[in-house]
Amino acid sequence: MSSLTFRQKLGRCLSSNFFTRLVTTLILLNAVTLGLETDAAVMESHGLLLRAVDQAILAFFVVEVLLRLYVSRLAFFKSGWNVFDFVIVGISLLPSVGPFAVLRTLRILRVLRLISVVPKMRKVITALFSAIPGMTSVLSVLLVIFYVASVMTTQIFGASSDPAMQQLYGSIGASMFTLFQLMTLEGWSQDIAGPTMALFPASWAFFVSFIIVTSFAVLNLFIGIIVDAMNLMHEEERAASVDKAHSEEMLAIHDVREEIAALRRDLQAARK
Amino acid sequence: MSSLTFRQKLGRCLSSNFFTRLVTTLILLNAVTLGLETDAAVMESHGLLLRAVDQAILAFFVVEVLLRLYVSRLAFFKSGWNVFDFVIVGISLLPSVGPFAVLRTLRILRVLRLISVVPKMRKVITALFSAIPGMTSVLSVLLVIFYVASVMTTQIFGASSDPAMQQLYGSIGASMFTLFQLMTLEGWSQDIAGPTMALFPASWAFFVSFIIVTSFAVLNLFIGIIVDAMNLMHEEERAASVDKAHSEEMLAIHDVREEIAALRRDLQAARK
Amino acid sequence: MSSLTFRQKLGRCLSSNFFTRLVTTLILLNAVTLGLETDAAVMESHGLLLRAVDQAILAFFVVEVLLRLYVSRLAFFKSGWNVFDFVIVGISLLPSVGPFAVLRTLRILRVLRLISVVPKMRKVITALFSAIPGMTSVLSVLLVIFYVASVMTTQIFGASSDPAMQQLYGSIGASMFTLFQLMTLEGWSQDIAGPTMALFPASWAFFVSFIIVTSFAVLNLFIGIIVDAMNLMHEEERAASVDKAHSEEMLAIHDVREEIAALRRDLQAARK
Amino acid sequence: MSSLTFRQKLGRCLSSNFFTRLVTTLILLNAVTLGLETDAAVMESHGLLLRAVDQAILAFFVVEVLLRLYVSRLAFFKSGWNVFDFVIVGISLLPSVGPFAVLRTLRILRVLRLISVVPKMRKVITALFSAIPGMTSVLSVLLVIFYVASVMTTQIFGASSDPAMQQLYGSIGASMFTLFQLMTLEGWSQDIAGPTMALFPASWAFFVSFIIVTSFAVLNLFIGIIVDAMNLMHEEERAASVDKAHSEEMLAIHDVREEIAALRRDLQAARK
């Protein structure tokens, strides 16, 4: 007579090492078949096989997600990783004919499940997301500077009817893209500052200031993350080492006090 | 009978959470209307409404700044953030007709008030400014190198009558801009080193040295900021932890001494 | 009668300072001759001499590796550096005529032996390799993102028959190269985003996201290495300093306890 | 009757705050006049005045260096900064006519004296130089990689008679410049990898590997400097804080021991 219900047995089975390795292998296999599907020559010769393998793996994933949903019931949706798996498998089931043909290309997103299945990669993403809250203040300041600069460049440089100016600063969207390019420093002189300075000679001051200010802000973003990461990892170990020394010393001092107390008892005994 | 004067009540009201949230909302709304004003199609259909909203929000800001000026009187100008708000709102009141039409574009600077109103963003800017003093020495060295290099390139490369050389190194200003571009590495080979080396073949040595020296100087600027930031944040926590352990140990040793003193008193009592 | 076998004597000789310096000098000399061989004018005038020197140095290296193999026997292959030397010298012995002419160019790899001979450079490479395990998780995530993005761009942008699109995204290989270029930010706007956005206007969202995500991932790679390096070097010294203070204090407290014990003995003696 | 010799008095005078400020002012003034000399229009109107001021300041510097040489005698050359001042002033005295006209442009180097005169800037340069020893190992490895790669690219890509290949890889010097450009990522795809891959399709592997390897090496260079800087500045403060706590605790324990000794004396007195 088994002491575990069928659901519990299934749950153990789904979280077993063997099953995890099986899923990882299937994801990697699917990554290969989806990659091969982009090659026209391969598709002509082995297209049917590739599609069949793809359908079989998809079927496996659908069953897997449904089983995990059955095991955990509504608690399934409490984990962001489960929701991630559910959405990615769900997308693959949508009809991909007619206007939805673009959805076929989203099948490759299934390979992202690798990140949710392999614990080490999962940890990396968790760490990346945990770094975001510490960045919001600097990111907000950067966004305000970007928005103000893009409205100004749209009003000043975009007012020119020159086609180059219209392409670079024709709308707020165009200006923001141009300013993003300026921030990455890519072709800032030849593609952006050059044509603008030809019409607005004093604009060099704006470009140089914007580059220095955004570089400085991005640098501070980086430093913030570094300092946070150091604090987190470093502090723990440091505290542990100081605390160990501290508690050993406190223990030794406690022993001293007990010995003095014993001495006192001896003395009181001697007085009698 | 109220124990607070009208001025004190007003001061409390202006620094209340509700009022801060109201100002933040109005700034965001103004950011949206100023953004929409850059779109010709929207201006044609809703131009009057946008302008009216803009005027209303400006009126609100003028009253707000005047009230805060009334509350704090001359102490108002002691805070850099107040001066910042005052100047930004003041600019919007300047006549923007005729030759001053460009001032209209400065209205978007009002959105920068978001930084002075939201405490977290204010903190970011304060931190950025507090990093500047530690950078002045390295920045001065960088500036001296830039100035010397720009005078030299103007005298040597700018002496050539070649139009490309004239554009790159025609004056100290042009040379400084070229050297700034060189420092950002943007197109340094194709746009700058290429044409120069065609006329001055040995100039590669200058370009390679300048890139290495300025990269190294900028790197040291960054390291300085990182080390300062680490020292500031790290030291505090570390010191706290060591100090806590230290004071606990000192207290324990103090107890030991008191117990020894008590023991001594006992002994003296026994002698009698 | 010597107490050392010939093999032991030879081993000492091969690891002596003099021999190391001799090998270093020969590698540097070989670097110079191989460099001069690339100059057609020099080859015409001193070609025979250069080839003779090269052959003589190669002969020396072959004998050296064989002797070290004789001294250490199979233990020789336990050190990665020995395998490295063996392979590099071995390559030079392969016939370099006919279809293998390209192997001649691999002779310059012998200069890499400098790294295995000079201890300080050896240490740098060891440190670089020891940093790799800590990077595998982030690198795997980056690789998954790259693969998924390259399949998607091949399917979406590569589906266009436009020659520019075919060159950038014609196959998964082409897409990966393009995405690598995107990650280095080199010409991302003019060479990649520009032509793509001309056909797929909404693709700016993909480019901006990809740049931000990969920059953030690469940044985390760097931070991971920095934090690891700091932990390694910093912790050691810190621990040493805390531990020294700690053991001195523990010793002092131990002395106190011994003195209390002595006091107790005195007291017990007094009671008798 | 003065107790100081004339030489000692002069030495005090030359190192006084007033004199340092005077020299700083003259260097800044000279920087301005040398900058103005690059402007043809200014030279035509005020050329004689500028030259006169320049000659007067040079005369002052010559006298200053000679006086400092007289005060310190041969010890003058022990300080690198003095040698720096001596060489820079010396260059200005060389005849700058005929073939030496280029030496005139070196007059601007005098502005670099600002760095040797202002203590804070002096400190920056000292710090930069002190970082170099820790970088030599990584720099040597980088140099070996560069040399090997440049010989290989010269032999393989430079063997092609294509003019673009000749320009990029025609000689070891050209290859090294190209590889330096590759390392800075500037136009690596369009200017370097593009034309090379047109002739050698498999060369993408070399370019991608070289970029990754050199980026990783440069990164390690940076991390080394950061870790060193942190160790230096951080350790000092940390050690101080731990040491202060430690010596206070040792003192307290010492007091405890003295009190126990007093107690023992009391006890011995009681026994009598």
Give the pLDDT score at C240: 62
Contact D237, B237 (CB under 8 A): no
Give the pLDDT score at C1: 47
Q: Nearest by CB to D253, which of C256, C260, C266?
A: C256
Alpha-helical segments (H) within C157-203: 163-169, 172-183, 194-199
Distance separating alpha carbons of residues A149 and B80, to the nearest angstrom: 22
If you count residue pairs, one on C and one on D, with CB atoms under 8 Å apart, how many are there? 141
What is the mean predicted confidence (pLDDT) over D162-173?
Answer: 89
Tokens at residue B190, please? 């194709």
Phi, psi of B260 (to 5 degrees): -65, -40
Q: Identify all chain C residues contacting D189, using CB atoms and an 8 Å cutoff.
A: 181, 184, 186-187, 191
Q: Which has the closest alpha carbon to C239: B268, D238, B89, D176? A: D238
Give the pLDDT score at D227: 74
Question: What is the distance in angstroms between the Cα of D29 and the nearest Cα belonging to chain C?
Answer: 42
Distances (CA, A) of B77 to B59, B83, B244: 21, 6, 41
Q: Which has the closest alpha carbon to B7: B102, B74, B72? A: B72
pLDDT digits (tens, 9 = 90+) for C240-272: 666 677 777 777 777 777 877 777 777 777 666
Which of C146, C152, C183, C200 to mutate: most A Cβ within 10 Å? C152
Distances (CA, A) of C180 to A31, C174, D200: 19, 10, 19
Q: Structure pTM?
A: 0.83
Tokens at residue B7, please? 């001025």
Contact D175, D148 (CB under 8 A): no
Q: Nearest by CB to C260, which of A249, A263, A267?
A: A263
The chain D residue lying nearest C184, using CA atoms, is: D185
Please judge whether B268 and D263 are an interchain contact, meaning their C-beta atoms are less than 8 angstroms apart.
no
Q: Identify all chain A residues contacting C250, using CB atoms and an 8 Å cutoff.
A: 248-249, 252
Tokens at residue B150, please? 């720009």
Give the pLDDT score at C126: 85
The chain D residue lying nearest C132, using CA atoms, is: D216
What is the mean predicted confidence (pLDDT) over B185-213?
Answer: 89
Please judge whether A140 and B123 are an interchain contact, meaning their C-beta atoms are less than 8 angstroms apart.
no
Question: What is the distance in angstroms between the Cα of D128 and the nearest Cα belonging to chain C?
Answer: 20
Distance separating alpha carbons of residues A5 and A11, to the nearest angstrom: 10
Please judge whether B263 and A268 are an interchain contact, meaning their C-beta atoms are less than 8 angstroms apart.
no
What is the mean predicted confidence (pLDDT) over D252-266?
Answer: 78
The chain A residue lying nearest B104, using CA atoms, is: A155
Contact C101, C73 (CB under 8 A): no
Question: What is the distance in angstroms between the Cα of C199 and the nearest Cα belonging to chain A?
Answer: 15
Give the pLDDT score at A240: 63
Question: What is the distance in angstroms between the Cα of B124 and the nearest Cα belonging to chain D?
Answer: 23
Chain-wide mean pLDDT for chain B? 83
Question: Which residue bears the tokens 């005195």?
Answer: C266
The chain C residue lying nearest D233, using CA atoms, is: C234
Which of B136, B143, B152, B214 to mutate: most D Cβ within 10 Å? B152
What is the mean predicted confidence (pLDDT) over B175-204?
Answer: 89
Give the pLDDT score at D106: 82
Please judge whether C148 and A112 are an interchain contact, meaning their C-beta atoms are less than 8 angstroms apart.
yes
What is the mean predicted confidence (pLDDT) over D19-48?
Answer: 88
Angle between the N-to-C axes of helices A204-271 and A119-131, in degrees from 0 to 180, rounded to the nearest 10: 100
Give the pLDDT score at C148: 92
In the predicted model, is pLDDT for residue A108 greater than 60?
yes
Question: What is the distance in angstroms between the Cα of B232 and the nearest Cα belonging to chain D?
Answer: 10
Q: Which has the closest alpha carbon to C86: C109, C56, C120, C102? A: C109
Which band of pLDDT confidence, cut at 50, 70 and 90, is reported for residue D72? confident
Question: What is the distance in angstroms between the Cα of B214 and the nearest Cα belonging to chain D?
Answer: 12
- Whole-angstrom Cα Rg for chain A: 31
Which band of pLDDT confidence, cut at 50, 70 and 90, is reported for residue C239? low
Q: Identify all chain B residues contacting A242, using CB atoms and an 8 Å cutoff.
A: 241-242, 245
Q: What is the largest CA-CA distance in chain D?
A: 111
What is the mean predicted confidence (pLDDT) over C24-46?
Answer: 88
What is the mean predicted confidence (pLDDT) over C157-173?
Answer: 88
Q: Nearest by CB to A249, which of C138, C171, C249?
A: C249
- Name the helix (H) or strand (E) containing C64: helix C40-72
Instruction: Supply the ipTM of this predicted assembly.
Output: 0.81
Query: How many CA atoms lie less than 13 Å away from D102 in the CB half-sphere?
Result: 4
Q: Which has the closest alpha carbon to B185: B218, B163, B160? A: B218
Question: Which residue bears the tokens 């939201």?
Answer: B118
Which band of pLDDT confidence, cut at 50, 70 and 90, is reported for residue A1? very low
